[in-house]
């Protein structure tokens, strides 16, 4: 992580985001609040600004203290109990998020804006804030993975009043430049929103695995029907379950 502060000045009046406060961080780092403000003034802590308040992401804070070998309370390694949710399959997450065709967008910003507007989100979620953090992630590095596919997501999961992980698949009306390393225009966006770090990493790894499968990738490339897409995901996840069962039994029949 850069030494510079990750500061996003966003005026979100109604964003009731479950983020750490200055007081929370002081307790976790075992320092007083004056020390936190001193670090903020020096631009050392990763932080978001929501209106007139500072808010911290637990995952980013953990990364920061780990890289600096700072002694912290063990509480920082544990997510709140109300955020501990069971792992959902990629199929479940995509069912929650939906599949959309002919999504509008003339450039990266307008395409992601269209995606945020289409996503099936709880009414409490501030869509403008979500858009800003997705764009902030893209400003750091493109989420394009090549072959016309991108996976927009925040740098680390941010709790936005969701209890279930969401994956929305949007096929763009027009291919757009996403600064992909292979130089290809992007026409397919998988957007991930997760309630916890654990589910975020789990779904991201499942999606990455699925996109290495030739059958699934071809269906996506050809903008297949919803039934075709879910059929391919079901096939892949069934294979994963079988492999896991073999591992758990030590290969015994």
Q: Which of 87, 89, 86 is nearest to 240 (CA)?
A: 89
Q: How far apart are the first and last CA of the chain?
A: 47
Q: Which of 173, 177, 201, 159 is nearest to 20 (CA)?
A: 159
Q: What is the DSSP letter of 20?
A: B
Domain assignment present for 3: no
Question: Lowest-pLDDT range, 59-73, 187-201, 202-216?
Answer: 59-73
Q: Does 66 lie in the same domain as 139? A: no
Domain that holds residue 19: 9-78
The pLDDT of residue 37 is: 93
Q: Does 156 lie in the same domain as 46? A: no
Q: Are 138 and 111 in contact (CB under 8 A)?
A: no
Give dist(CA 167, CA 92) in Å, integer: 9
Domain assignment present for 21: yes
Q: Which of 75, 57, 65, 60 is nearest to 18 (CA)?
A: 57
Q: Does 119 lie in the same domain as 31? A: no
Domain assignment present for 253: no
The pLDDT of residue 34 is: 94
pLDDT digits 0-9 by tens, 75-98: 655 555 444 445 689 999 999 999
Render the burial of 32-53: b for 16+ CB within 10 Å, e for the rest: eeeebeebbeeeebbbbbbeee
pLDDT digits 0-9 by tens, 28-69: 888 999 999 999 988 888 888 877 888 887 766 765 775 565
Q: Does 115 lie in the same domain as 90? A: yes
Helix 214-221 with 197-211: angle, nearest 10 deg = 90
Q: How many CA atoms lie within 13 A of 237 on its CB side?
A: 17
Q: 28 CB contacts (<8 Å, ≥6 apart)?
A: 20, 61, 72, 73, 75, 76
**Last residue of one domain, picked from the residues 54, 78, 102:** 78
Domain assignment present for 42: yes
């Amino acid at each position: 992580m850069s030494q510079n502060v990750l500061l996003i000045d966003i005026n979100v009046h109604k964003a009731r985001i479950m983020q750490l406060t200055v007081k929370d961080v002081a307790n976790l780092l075992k320092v007083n609040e004056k020390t936190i403000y001193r670090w903020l003034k020096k631009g050392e802590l990763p932080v978001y600004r929501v209106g007139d308040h500072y808010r911290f992401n637990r995952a980013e804070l953990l990364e920061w203290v780990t890289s600096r070998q700072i002694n912290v309370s063990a509480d920082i390694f544990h997510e709140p109990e109300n955020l501990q949710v069971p792992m959902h399959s990629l199929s479940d997450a995509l069912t929650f998020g939906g599949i959309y065709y002919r999504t509008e967008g003339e450039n990266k910003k307008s395409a992601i804006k269209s995606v945020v507007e289409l996503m099936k989100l709880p009414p409490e979620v501030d869509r403008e804030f979500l858009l800003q953090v997705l764009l902030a992630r893209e400003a750091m590095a493109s989420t394009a993975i090549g072959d016309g596919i991108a996976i927009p997501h925040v740098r680390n999961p941010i709790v936005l009043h969701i209890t279930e992980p969401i994956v929305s698949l949007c096929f763009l009306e027009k291919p757009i430049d996403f600064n992909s390393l292979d130089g290809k225009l992007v026409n397919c966006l998988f957007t991930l929103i997760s309630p916890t770090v654990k589910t975020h990493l789990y779904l991201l790894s499942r999606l990455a695995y699925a996109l290495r499968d030739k059958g699934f990738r071809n269906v996506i490339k050809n903008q297949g029907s919803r039934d075709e897409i879910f059929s391919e995901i079901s096939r892949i996840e069934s294979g994963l379950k079988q492999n896991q069962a073999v591992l758990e039994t030590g290969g015994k029949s």
